[in-house]
């Protein structure tokens, strides 16, 4: 009896946990957002329709409107997704000491990710400048938050004696973010150009010079 029960148990297929309605909804929305990123990277915001997004994601043409309500709401969700991705990447830099080292690590990460999300962000910024409206307001808020993040790192570097920057930190944070965004757009254009790595290395050194970075003293035990 014992051996038969054991044999039958081995033949029993594994029981998969059924996903909840909330999990299925989240999975669908994630697929729609990924499809939206792909389409905007190729056609820009003005060039896409919600029906195209639904079809590319493998759903019905009307599913985006069902989940997000409108194109403006869908674009807002895309911006939120890009912003979330930005901060998740920054959290991965936690092992780097706050201040100059984390600032440089963040800049290197930003420039190394000349990806589809970067292309979408550049498309959004360009269209927001041309058309204004809610998109411009949303990106202005995102820009302000990202600049504040870099401003805090710059100030930490100054407070720790890692940089001798004496100008306006808030203004410098916007300059730095603009530098990173502009370089990312250029790197997207360069593609596989062999100069791309040298551009990134030069940007790294330029940021250090602008901030008046001081040599890191070796720790003594």
Q: Which residues have a Cβ under 8 Å from the Cβ of 116 and sit 6 or more positions away?
A: 37, 38, 41
What value does the mean pLDDT take over residues 10-37? 80
What is the share, in percent, of the chain residues with pLDDT greater than 90?
A: 49
Alpha carbon of 24 to those of 52, 81, 135, 198: distances in Å?
A: 21, 18, 28, 44
Contacts for 106-113 with beta carbons within 8 Å, 24 or more apart?
106/150, 106/153, 107/176, 107/180, 107/203, 107/204, 107/207, 108/200, 108/204, 110/180, 110/184, 111/180, 111/183, 111/184, 111/187, 111/200, 111/203, 112/200, 113/89, 113/184
pTM, rounded to two decimals: 0.78
pLDDT at 221 (0 to 100): 42
* Domains of the chain from N-terminus onward: 19-69 (1.10.10), 72-214 (1.10.357.10)
What pLDDT band is residue 202 in, cutting at 50, 70 and 90? very high
What pLDDT band is residue 87 in, cutting at 50, 70 and 90? confident
pLDDT at 145 (0 to 100): 92
What value does the mean pLDDT take over residues 118-123? 85
What value does the mean pLDDT take over residues 53-58? 94
Residue predicted with more confidence, 184 or 7? 184
Q: Whose structure tokens read 């360009």?
A: 126
What value does the mean pLDDT take over residues 156-167? 92
């Amino acid at each position: 009896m014992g051996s038969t029960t054991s044999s039958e148990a081995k033949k029993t297929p594994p029981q998969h946990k059924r996903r909840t309605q909330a999990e299925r909804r989240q999975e669908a929305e994630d697929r729609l957002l990924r499809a939206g990123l792909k389409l905007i990277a190729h056609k820009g915001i003005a060039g896409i329709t919600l029906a195209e997004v639904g079809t590319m994601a493998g759903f019905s043409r009307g599913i985006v409107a069902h989940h997000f309500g409108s194109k403006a709401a869908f674009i807002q969700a895309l911006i939120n997704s890009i912003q979330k991705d930005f901060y998740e990447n920054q959290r991965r830099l936690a092992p780097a000491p706050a201040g100059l080292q984390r600032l440089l690590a963040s800049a290197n990460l930003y420039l190394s990710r000349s990806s589809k999300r970067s292309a979408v962000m550049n498309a959004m910024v360009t269209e927001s400048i041309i058309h204004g409206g809610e998109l411009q307001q949303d990106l202005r808020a995102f820009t302000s938050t990202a600049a504040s993040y870099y401003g805090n790192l710059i100030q930490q570097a100054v407070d720790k004696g890692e940089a001798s920057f004496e100008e306006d930190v808030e203004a410098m944070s916007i300059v730095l973010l603009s530098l990173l965004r502009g370089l990312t757009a250029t790197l997207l254009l360069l593609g596989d150009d062999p100069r791309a790595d040298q551009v990134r290395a030069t940007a790294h050194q330029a940021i250090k010079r602008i901030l008046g970075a001081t040599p890191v003293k070796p720790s003594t035990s």
